[in-house]
Structures are given as C-alpha cells and as structure tokens.
Structure 1
Amino acid sequence: MPPPSPVPDLLARLESRHDLRVIHATLTGPGAWGVPGAPLAPPTVVALFTRAPDAYLGLAEPPDVLHGETDEPEAPSLVAWDARRAVRLALRSNALVWTWLSSPALDPATGLPAPGAPAVQALIDALAGSLSHGTVLADALAEAKEAMNTFLPDPPLAAARTKYGLVVRALMRTRWLLDRGTLPPASWESLRAGLAWPAEVAACLDSLEADTLTQRRLPVLDAWIDQVFDDARARGASLPDRHPPLALLDPLYRALVAPPGPPVPPAPASPRDRVLVSTP
C-alpha cells in the first residue's frame, strides 16, 4: 500500500497560515507529465486559491503568489496562485495558465488524481476555445529550445534520453497546434496518442520510453525535430491570435471562487416590500 500523499498537509498548512481556500490543485513538471527520462526531482504542485472578499478591500493588496514549505525531501514543491491573478493572466492568453490547467488534477483532500470541480472544467473548456494559439506555440518552441540548450551532468545515454524527452514533448505540443488546430494536452501519453507518427520516429519514441537507447544521437528523431521547427516557422503566423474576452471569463471566475455549498435562498420580503395587487 503506497504511503499517504504529503499534498493534503501541504495545502492545509498553506490555507491555515495565509487564511485562504485552495480551489484547485494540479501536479506539474516532466515527471508528472510522464516524460521519458524525466529528472528525478519531485514534481511541483500548482494550486489556485481564493480569499474572503474583504481581503481585497484594503489599500494593501494581499500576496497573489505563495510558496509552500515542507521539511520532507521527497515532497513536491508548492506554488500557489490567487485565482484572480491566474484568470487575469488568461485574459492575455498566458500559456503558463494553460499548462497548469491541462496538467493532472489532484483532490486537495487526498492528494490523489481526481477531476477538477465543475467550475474549473468550465474555465478549461472556455480557455480551450479562446486562448491564442500563437502564444501557446511560442511557449512550446521556447520550451524546446531551452531543453536543447540545457546541460545535464548525467551519464551520456541517460542525459540524451532526458534531453530528447524534454525536447520532443515540447515539439509534440507544437505539432498538435499545427496539425490538430486545438490546444495541446500536457501529458506525454496523450500527446503521443493524439498525433500521427512515421514508423521510424515511433520506433525512436519506443526506445526513449523503454530506456533502450544505444547511442546518444538518433538521426531519425533529429530530422523530425528539425521538420517541426521548419513547419512552425512556415505556418505559425497563421494560427489564431485571439484572446479570451472579459465577458466570457468574468462569470467563470465568479463561479470558480464562489463559496462552497448550496446557494443561500433569498430572504422573504418584508410586508412593506411586498407589492399589493388588488383583485377584482
């Protein structure tokens, strides 16, 4: 039986220390996304939170980005964002918000994988149809280039596997945008399953996943990487460059941060507020 997840305690301490309410949590990072050869560092929990309404009424803005603290070396790190700031970033098609929301969701009470609340899913659906594809493409290409230039001190074959995994996942996101015309998922498994692969490239991916590399360079996969960059240069400018409208996201944000529980029914009108209607 696996040990209990440290995530609930991490989130509970955050809520208690800062007087807030966590409304969504996801597990992010290469390990959480299933990238072959992902670094062994613990993944990151990204949480969205809200505060009581009066916390926003003072002249001093409360912090909108917080970091969790833990003494457990194997526990995930925690970054928590005020939902208001996160949705405001989404108004500008910030690709980071899509990365969080498309990553595996966690139940804050158990730390186990679980679907997000209906209000979160409504926000995800709205962003899927309104975020700028050009902005997400630029983020994916930047991620791929950063991975290509990262120095890894691991043994040569292990370093090659990790680097290929990071680069290919980013370019899977790129390929998804170019070929499918929708925003890409976060996980390696979903990305691979949703794209068409030449047999030679698929064999390279099989080798990465099975950790059976026998050489540091894979010419077939290198050619695929170059082709994705070429296609992005040729077709990237034609991707939709829209942004979510305020009128779309504002009610979704209000639903996201609404207090839990059934809505409170309105109080009955007092006699003086009632309109008397005479009957014939």
Structure 2
Amino acid sequence: MTQDPMIDEAMRERIGSILNEIERREGARILVAVESGSRAWRFASRDSDYDVRFIYVRPVEDYLSVETRRDVIELPVDGTLDVNGWDLRKALGLIAKSNAVVAEWLTSPVVYRRDDGTAALLLGLARACAHLPALAYHYDRSARRAWAPGDDPVRLKSYFYALRPALALDWMRRKAEPPPMDLPGLMEGIPLPDDLREAVAMLLLRKRAATESDTAERVPPLEAYLTATLSEMAPRPGIWDRAPAVKAVDEAFRALLRPARAEILGSG
C-alpha cells in the first residue's frame, strides 16, 4: 500500500486494530472503512483529528428479531480519533434517499478496509439512486453554514469547509452528475480562474502548517467565487419517486445478507 502523506502509518495500524476489536465485540463484519474528514478531503491541518467511518453487517439472525437493534456503532471521541459506523441496512436506506454522506464514504481516497465487491455494489447503487436536487441542497447548505461574506478575518478551516461544497455545486451545475468528494478531484474537473487556483494553493500550504482555529484575512478571489456560486440558493428538493431506489437497495440487502451469515459464523 502506498504511504499517504495525510495518514500517519502508526495511526493506520491503530485504526486497523480498533476495527478488528469492533468486529470481535459486536459480532459484525466491517464491509468498508474509510477516512471521511479533512484528511480525505485533502486539506488537513497539522492538528486535524482522524474521522474514521465504516459500514458493517451483522449476522442474518439480528435482522430477523422482533426487537429493533441500534443501527450505529460509536466510539468515544478521544481528541485524535473519531470512529463511528452505520449498519448496512441504515446505509442502504440512506442511499435510497440520495444521501450525500454515504456516497462520499464510498469514494474516499483514504481506505482502511474494503470488501471490493461490496464497495463496488454500494457505490453503483449510490450513483444510480442519486437525485441531483437533493445533493445540491445538501452542498448548498453545507457551504452556507461554513461561510458568510464580510470584512472580518475568517478561519482557514471555514474557508475550505465552504469551498469544497461550493465546488461540488459548481460541478453538478456544469456536469449534471454527482461530484467527487475530495478538493483536488473537484478542482481538476471544472474550469476555474487562475487567480482562484493560486489562492487556494497558497491557502492549502498555510492550512497544513496551521491549527484548526487559525484565521486568515479575506482572500478576494475566493470571496468572489463563493459569492457567485452561492448567489442563488438551491431549493429544498420536492418529493420524488423513490420506489425504484428502494427496490434496488432491498435486492442488494438480501443478496449481501446471504453470504454474510456464512462468513461471520465461519470467522467465529
């Protein structure tokens, strides 16, 4: 595996051990485990934590109980590591609703664990079920929560937390397709002014040496881009026909549970 400059190898080993312990304790199998935060988005600060996210499947019998089982596994945040995951049923239900977060997990450039066949199936479903108005609404609100125009200094973190979803909006408007999740992928795929690219490159250098709380003076090319991109608010998506998506994810859920029983029981 090629070493990732955003990921400390000792931390990668620690994360692998934590994932193994989760499987042992929960009696589940982790299908996909990735980095989901600024390290995966490729603009981490020197003190950024690790945001580990995963999708897991339990034994078939757990899904046939009359008792509703919790569909999230969360570990206490320790200041360095933030680890939590979603049950396969929950992840598939969100895919049917065109959830942007699940799609991002499945396209993260930082992978800690992956069943390639299952990951490909889930990503195919996420793309097939993608409803662009729902994704646009998500990214529009994400950008607006992170940034507002003004004259006061802005946190470097806020700039990038606004820029990434703004670029995703720009991507969808130009290409009418779901965007990649990482900043380089977004910037490579759409035409942008040279002064904006230069400003972002300089800010990236600053952010890698900065802390999460460091601020910067307003950057005119970035302010102009964010203002223009967010000048028109993406509307809340209306009701759309999700029946085909529900049928597709139900079929995938049943197909994935069949081998899951044998694999989980066999590993015990």
TM-score class normalised by the smaller sequence:
0.7 to 0.9
- Residue 228 of structure 1 aligns to which amino acid in structure 2? T
Inter-partner Cα distance in structure 2 for 1:238 and 1:22: 32
CA contact 2:38–2:48 (8 Å) conserved in 1: no
CA contact 1:47–1:80 (8 Å) conserved in 2: yes
Inter-partner Cα distance in structure 2 for 1:79 and 1:34: 20
- Residue 19 of structure 2 aligns to which amino acid in structure 1? L
Inter-partner Cα distance in structure 2 for 1:138 and 1:237: 6
Inter-partner Cα distance in structure 2 for 1:206 and 1:24: 31
Deviation at 1:32, TM superposition (A): 2.2
CA contact 1:28–1:45 (8 Å) conserved in 2: yes
Inter-partner Cα distance in structure 2 for 1:51 and 1:34: 32
TM-score (normalizing by structure 2) = 0.79
5+ residue gaps, structure 2, are 4-8, 264-268
Partner of 1:56: 63
- Residue 254 of structure 1 aligns to which amino acid in structure 2? R
Larger Rg: 1
- Residue 177 of structure 1 aligns to which amino acid in structure 2? M
CA contact 1:184–1:191 (8 Å) conserved in 2: yes
How many residues of Structure 1 are paired with residues of Structure 2 in the alignment? 245
CA contact 2:137–2:237 (8 Å) conserved in 1: no
TM-score (normalizing by structure 1) = 0.76
CA contact 2:35–2:112 (8 Å) conserved in 1: no
Change in Cα spacing, 1:176 to 1:232, as seen in structure 2 (3 Å) is farther
Deviation at 1:205, TM superposition (A): 1.4
Superposed, 1:97-116 pairs within 5 Å as 97-104=102-109, 106-108=111-113, 116=115
Match of 1:191 among 186, 190, 193: 186
5+ residue gaps, structure 1, are 109-114, 150-155, 264-280
Deviations 1:192-220 (A, max 9, x none): 11111112212211221232999601122
Inter-partner Cα distance in structure 2 for 1:253 and 1:222: 44
Task: Report the structure, 1 or 2, having the larger helix content.
Answer: 2
Partner of 2:22: 14
CA contact 1:66–1:80 (8 Å) conserved in 2: yes
Partner of 1:30: 38
Inter-partner Cα distance in structure 1 for 2:255 and 2:52: 23
CA contact 2:72–2:87 (8 Å) conserved in 1: yes
Deviations 1:61-103 (A, max 9, x none): 22111113587x54x2211111011101221222222222222
Q: CA RMSD in A?
A: 3.2
Superposed, 1:1-280 pairs within 5 Å as 2-3=9-10, 5-35=13-43, 38=45, 40-69=47-76, 74=80, 76-104=81-109, 106-108=111-113, 116-148=115-147, 160-211=155-206, 216-231=217-232, 233=234, 243=242, 245-259=245-259
CA contact 1:48–1:83 (8 Å) conserved in 2: yes
CA contact 1:134–1:240 (8 Å) conserved in 2: no
- Residue 136 of structure 1 aligns to which amino acid in structure 2? L
Inter-partner Cα distance in structure 2 for 1:41 and 1:63: 29
- Residue 145 of structure 1 aligns to which amino acid in structure 2? R
